[in-house]
Chains A and B, each alone.
Chain A
Amino acid sequence: MIKQPQPLPESHPLSRIRQFFQHGDLLWRAILVLISILVLALMLSIGWMLWQSSSNARTIFGLSFLLPTTDASWDPVNNLFQAWPFIYGTLLTSLVALLLALPVSLGIAIFLAELCPDWLRTPLNWLVELLAAVPSVVYGLWGLFVFLPMVVAPLGTNLAAVFGQIPLFAGPVTSSGASRLGAALVLSVMIIPTIAAISRDVLLAIPNSQREASLALGSTQWETIWQVLIPYGLSGILGAVILGLGRALGETMAVTMVIGNSIETSASLLRPGYTMASIIANEFAEAVTQLHSEALIEVGFVLFVMTLLLNMLARFLVWRVASRTPQEARV
Chain B
Amino acid sequence: MNKKFFVVFAVLAIASMLLSACGAPATPAAPVAPEVQTQVVVQTQVVEKIVQVTPTADMSKPTDMPAGSVTVNGAGATFPAAVYADWAYAYQYVDPSVVINYQGIGSGGGKKAIVDGTVDFAGSDSLLADADYTNGKDLQMYPTLGGAVVLIYNIKLAKPLPTPAAGATAVTLPALVLDRQTLVDIFNSKITKWNDPAIVKLNSAWADYLPATDIVTVHRSDGSGTTEIFTKALASFSADWKAGGAQSVEWPKGNNVGGKGNAGVAASVINTPGAIGYVELNYALSNSLAYASLINQAGKTIVPNNASVQAAMAGAQFSDKMTATIVDSKDPAAYPIAGFTYLILHTTNMKDCVKAQKILEFWKWAETDPSAQSRVVKLGFSPLPAADSKLMLDGLSKVACNGAPVLK
Contact = CB atoms under 8 A, between A and B. Distances in A.
B276 to A, nearest CB: 13
B403 interface: no
A282 B221 contact: yes
Interface residues of A, number: 36
Q: Which of A149, A262, A282 has the most CB of B within 10 A?
A: A262
A148 B268 CA distance: 13
A267 interface: no
B112 A75 contact: no
A59 B395 CA distance: 42
Interface stretch (B244-252, B333-341, B360-368): B244-252
8 contacts: A77-B246, A144-B271, A261-B221, A262-B256, A265-B253, A283-B223, A288-B108, A288-B115
Contacts of A175: 216, 272-275
B106 interface: yes
Contact of A75 (B132, B249, B257): B249
Interface of A: 73-78, 115, 117, 144-146, 149-151, 154-155, 172, 174-176, 178, 221, 260-263, 265, 272, 282-283, 285-289, 293
A145 B107 CA distance: 28
A178 B257 contact: yes
A286 B132 contact: no
Contacts of A154: 25
A289 B250 CA distance: 15
Interface stretch (B26-34, B83-91, B299-307): B26-34
Interface in B118-144: 129, 131-132
B260 A261 contact: yes
Contacts of A260: 257-258
Contact of A288 (B8, B25, B132): B132
A52 B126 CA distance: 30
B222 interface: yes
A202 to B, nearest CB: 22
A149 B249 contact: no
Interface of B: 4-5, 8, 25-26, 28-29, 31-32, 34, 105-112, 115, 129, 131-132, 214, 216, 221-223, 243-244, 246-251, 253, 255-260, 268, 271-275
9 smallest beta-carbon distances between A and B, as pairs: A286-B109, A286-B108, A261-B258, A286-B223, A75-B250, A176-B271, A176-B272, A77-B246, A261-B221
Contacts of A265: 253
Contacts of A151: 25-26
Contacts of A146: 28, 31
A77 B223 contact: no
Given A76-B248, A286-B112, A287-B112, A174 B216 contact: yes
A261 B25 contact: no
A315 to B, nearest CB: 34
Contacts of B109: 285-286
Contacts of A272: 257
B257 A77 contact: no
A320 B272 CA distance: 50
Given A261-B258, A272-B257, A288-B129, 8 more contacts: A76-B248, A77-B248, A150-B32, A174-B272, A175-B274, A262-B221, A262-B257, A283-B222
A52 to B, nearest CB: 18
A155 B222 contact: no
B260 to A, nearest CB: 6
B8 A76 contact: no
A287 B116 CA distance: 12
A282 B273 contact: no
Given A115-B8, A151-B26, A76 B246 contact: yes
Nearest to B8: A115
A52 B307 CA distance: 52
Given A115-B8, A282-B221, A283-B222, A77 B249 contact: yes
